[in-house]
Amino acid sequence: MNIVENPSPETWADLLARPAKDLTQLQDGVSKIMQTVQKGGDADLRKYTKKYDGVALESILVDPEEIARSGQTLSEELKKAIQLAKANIEAFHRAQITEPRVVETMPGVRCWRKQVGIDRVGLYVPGGSAPLFSSVLMLAVPAVLAGCREIVLCTPPQADGKVHDAILYACSLCGLTQVAAIGGAQAIAALTFGTESVPKVDKIFGPGNAYVTVAKQLAQLEGVAIDMPAGPSEVLVCADEGADPQFMAADLLSQAEHGPDSQVVFVGRTRTHTKSVVAAVHEQLATLPRRDAAAQSIANSTAVVMPDDKAAAELINAYAPEHLIIARRDALAFSERIRNAGSVFLGYLTAESMGDYASGTNHTLPTNGYARQYSGVSLDSFCRQMTFQEVDEQGLKGLGPAVMAMARAEGLEAHAVAVEKRLEEVFEGLTNIDAKLAKS
Amino acid sequence: MNIVENPSPETWADLLARPAKDLTQLQDGVSKIMQTVQKGGDADLRKYTKKYDGVALESILVDPEEIARSGQTLSEELKKAIQLAKANIEAFHRAQITEPRVVETMPGVRCWRKQVGIDRVGLYVPGGSAPLFSSVLMLAVPAVLAGCREIVLCTPPQADGKVHDAILYACSLCGLTQVAAIGGAQAIAALTFGTESVPKVDKIFGPGNAYVTVAKQLAQLEGVAIDMPAGPSEVLVCADEGADPQFMAADLLSQAEHGPDSQVVFVGRTRTHTKSVVAAVHEQLATLPRRDAAAQSIANSTAVVMPDDKAAAELINAYAPEHLIIARRDALAFSERIRNAGSVFLGYLTAESMGDYASGTNHTLPTNGYARQYSGVSLDSFCRQMTFQEVDEQGLKGLGPAVMAMARAEGLEAHAVAVEKRLEEVFEGLTNIDAKLAKS
């Protein structure tokens, strides 16, 4: 982990360049999987699952009874932890429910928005060496709160053909009943087109490897929405001298252990403190089970010494980190300078892990600099806002002439006529709808 | 306009199929324009503007003085109308500003979201036979309210090389100072990569023709976000017998006049009333200046007779119209059945034109069935929501053990260590930061 002091703004982009990965060469292969599943349905899902996961699936959908009894094999400690995490995530996302608020923009013109859950959503939870039940909670809790009518979760099967009980337990806690033991591009294809077992959805959520990412991009071309573009995870830790170097090192490593392409950045205020943090990183690294992956990530990572707060904040805004830890005494005040970050962790005690699992915020966040444009997943991601307007006679009289003038200036005569005909009737007093209905 | 009675749900998709347009064949051409502008900057912007707009631009950016004096050539009536529209749009979008709301998900764990404007946004306003100043208002008003730091608007020049004064007047009212007289795919390329005159942006908004749409798709692959996928405009009018057939016809035609690929659908309750509406459509059509375009659109359009409210609502939800007019006495009650629509116009008097221009709602809406997944443009579109969390000693003690249990169950040891180190310190009472700082 090399240390750079006071880099000038022109050098920031190169200094903090993310490990670039060109996924375009995967497109043809993924596109073929997508097309095959579109035509072949369940049969091809099974073939790909045999090929890539080495598993001959009996049933693509997990038996609901298996979901219901999944808690039996888990420790009470883990179940309690998952329950606590779910309660916090639910509390935070429930506060994002909005009620329509009518704005009378002028007399007789009432406008409002209404939050509505997306009908059909697909949740993807990656496989890998461990069961990522936390991602189930982060996607299923807001989907259920949003009132999505159909929620289907896909996750690759383990070597024994089963889905891990910890994942099923999280599903069952959230009330999910449709869980498909499929992963990779073929799972995204199934959600995009629908198969005999897997329903087609309107929007697909969740992280995944490069194949899943490309499949989600291709799904967009088929009219399916996705949560956000995905990339390797990253953290920027920004600290003052009061931050314990051991804490900072642990935070940096908790990101680095995700894999060799994870990026970690440290921004300190003094060279001495920064060196202590880097030393602690190397010291702790040796003890980690995932030290090989973490070491590769750390080798590509940078520590920056920036004594000037304003410059440090602008470096952070330019980088736009997915996770930003502000381990400073003045964390909240410093955070006022930050515009571009996915999720922010304030103070010496707020480890990123807290938010990764259980503080209540969502851990599905924009990576790869996308925090400049995208928000993390929230209740909003599972909803749309429909707008409504209602114009009465007073509103028509007050606003109608302006609308006609604008429509005609834009050369849209029929737009003007639609208002004019109503204005004529209103001014002639012929709007007694009850009388009309009685006559009709 | 053919009339269909009580179609069964299996036939809805075919009956209401949108005029499909395959844009993939445009990709190579648009991609070439994008690459050329990426390398050649302003010089190539000028070349394309000469080629496609027939104009040799003196300056790509409009002189700010020209923006400032644009009102001089407009009628007072039009200026007042634009001002009224702006005031209503601003009132509605201002109500979408959210303040951080702290949720204490458990004792000592505080989480909140903060709405932050996207740094740099590009607004595209199409050219054509008339100046679409209303689109300027719909994009610039929320961009300014969101606090976007850099706002650049692109719109194609007229034959005389100028931007229409009505567009510049709307820009000036909103306080925009960066207006580029460029259009088409080359404008999207400029916003995507930046040129000497046009700044690179983080997100691109606004409607456009097929080339602009494809360019926006390609911009996404370059890390730029877009507002939503675009398609031809559409309206579904759903009415009871109290709705004046002349009003209904005018509403259908105000959509049809947008162009031959616009789609209009009428859903009536009785055959007699529906036939009156269709007759009125043909009667009014003859008088319209844009009757050729409107006639083509109407020829491809369908009127459906659906006496059953529940079935009618499900047909509407399946179609997911961009604009939905509910011209019924029980409009608000009926609207409770609607889940999928962009913007909804309630009652006999609320013409779609009211919302197109001036009620206050945004007219940039999801077309092509995307109302199933996407919201229209709102203040949210110009903002991100950053999440924050702050955990104190109590929170760490309460939540830390659960986080450690989950991290270890997911095989992420460093995630557990980041919490464990803090817990150890807290339990040993060594968190006196002031003392530490004094020592350092």
Could B372 and A118 be called an inter-chain contact, meaning their C-beta atoms sit closer than 8 Å? yes
Residues from chain A that touch B346, judged by Cβ atoms under 8 A, are: 388-390
Q: What is the ipTM of this complex?
A: 0.95
pLDDT tens-place values along chain A, 440 residues long: 899 999 999 999 999 998 777 788 899 999 999 999 999 999 999 999 999 999 999 899 999 999 999 999 999 999 999 999 999 999 999 999 999 999 999 999 999 999 999 999 999 999 877 789 999 999 999 999 999 999 999 999 999 999 999 999 999 999 999 999 999 999 999 999 999 999 999 999 999 989 999 999 999 888 899 999 888 889 999 999 999 999 999 999 999 998 888 899 999 999 999 999 999 999 999 999 888 889 999 998 999 999 999 999 999 999 999 999 999 999 999 999 999 999 999 999 999 999 999 999 999 999 999 999 999 999 999 999 999 999 999 999 999 999 999 999 999 999 999 999 999 988 775 445 445 444 44
What's CA B236's distance to the chain center, in Å?
Answer: 19
With beta carbons less than 8 A apart as the criterion, state whether B73 and B163 touch: no
Q: How far is B64 from chain A (nearest CA, A)?
A: 23
Cβ-nearest to B88 among A106, A251, A331? A106
- Contact map slice: B 351-380 vs A, CB within 8 A: 351-362, 368-376, 378, 380
- Contact map slice: B 11-70 vs A, CB within 8 A: none
Close Cβ partners of B373 (under 8 Å, ≥ 6 residues apart):
A118, A202, A203, A224, A225, A384, B366
pLDDT at A429: 58
Q: Using only C-alpha atoms, what is the Rg of chain B?
A: 26
With beta carbons less than 8 A apart as the criterion, state whether A301 and A256 touch: yes
Could A118 and B350 be called an inter-chain contact, meaning their C-beta atoms sit closer than 8 Å? no
Catalytically active residues of A, by annotation: 322-323
pLDDT at B59: 95
What is residue B358's three-state secondary structure?
Answer: coil
Q: What is the number of other CB atoms lying within 10 angstroms of the CB of residue B382?
A: 28
pLDDT at B413: 93
Q: Is A438 on the interface with B (CB under 8 A)?
A: no
pLDDT at B429: 58
pLDDT tens-place values along chain B, 440 residues long: 899 999 999 999 999 998 777 788 899 999 999 999 999 999 999 999 999 999 999 899 999 999 999 999 999 999 999 999 999 999 999 999 999 999 999 999 999 999 999 999 999 999 877 889 999 999 999 999 999 999 999 999 999 999 999 999 999 999 999 999 999 999 999 999 999 999 999 999 999 989 999 999 999 888 899 999 888 889 999 999 999 999 999 999 999 998 888 899 999 999 999 999 999 999 999 999 888 889 999 998 999 999 999 999 999 999 999 999 999 999 999 999 999 999 999 999 999 999 999 999 999 999 999 999 999 999 999 999 999 999 999 999 999 999 999 999 999 999 999 999 999 988 775 445 444 444 44
Q: Is A415 on the interface with B (CB under 8 A)?
A: yes
With beta carbons less than 8 A apart as the criterion, state whether A331 and A294 touch: no
Nearest to A155 by CA among A34, A53, A70, A84: A53
With beta carbons less than 8 A apart as the criterion, state whether B157 and B163 touch: yes
Q: How far is B390 from chain A (nearest CA, A)?
A: 5
Q: Is A224 on the interface with B (CB under 8 A)?
A: yes
Q: How far is B247 from chain A (nearest CA, A)?
A: 6
Q: Is B84 on the interface with A (CB under 8 A)?
A: yes
DSSP states along B37-57:
HHHHTHHHHHHHIIIII----
pLDDT at A437: 45
- Residues A318 and A338: their CA atoms lie apart, in Å, by 10
Q: How far is B122 from chain A (nearest CA, A)?
A: 12
Among chain B residues, the shortest Cα distance to A358 is held by B403
With beta carbons less than 8 A apart as the criterion, state whether B88 and B359 touch: yes
pLDDT at B432: 52
Selected for mutation to probe chain B from A252, A373, A431 (highest B CB count within 10 Å) is A373
DSSP states along B45-113:
HHHHIIIII----S-SBPPHHHHHTGGGGS-HHHHHHHHHHHHHHHHHHHTT------EEEETTEEEEE
Residues from chain A that touch B282, judged by Cβ atoms under 8 A, are: none
Angle between helices B76-94 and B165-174 (to 10 degrees): 40
Contact pairs from chain A to chain B, CB under 8 Å: 438
Q: How far is B141 from chain A (nearest CA, A)?
A: 14
- Residues B187 and B224: their CA atoms lie apart, in Å, by 14
Could A349 and B223 be called an inter-chain contact, meaning their C-beta atoms sit closer than 8 Å? no
Cβ-nearest to B254 among A288, A395, A418? A418
pLDDT at A180: 98
Could B78 and A251 be called an inter-chain contact, meaning their C-beta atoms sit closer than 8 Å? no
Cβ-nearest to A105 among B105, B359, B369? B359
Close Cβ partners of B27 (under 8 Å, ≥ 6 residues apart):
B214, B218
What is residue A181's three-state secondary structure?
Answer: coil
| Alpha-helical regions (H) of A195-237 | 210-221
- Contact map slice: B 89-148 vs A, CB within 8 A: 91-92, 95-96, 101, 103, 105-106, 109, 111, 113, 116-119, 129-134
Could B418 and A372 be called an inter-chain contact, meaning their C-beta atoms sit closer than 8 Å? no
Could B386 and A343 be called an inter-chain contact, meaning their C-beta atoms sit closer than 8 Å? yes
What is residue B266's three-state secondary structure?
Answer: strand
CA dihedral A88, A155, A229, B366 (to 10 degrees): -80
- Ramachandran angles phi, psi of B383, nearest 5°: -125, 165
Helix (H) or strand (E) holding B4: strand B2-5
What DSSP character marks residue A51?
I
Catalytically active residues of B, by annotation: 322-323
Could A412 and B290 be called an inter-chain contact, meaning their C-beta atoms sit closer than 8 Å? yes
- Residues A228 and A230: their CA atoms lie apart, in Å, by 6
Nearest to B362 by CA among B116, B143, B55: B143
Nearest to A354 by CA among B394, B384, B437, B115: B394
Residue B232's beta-bridge partner residues?
A: none
Lookup result for tokens 């650049």: B152
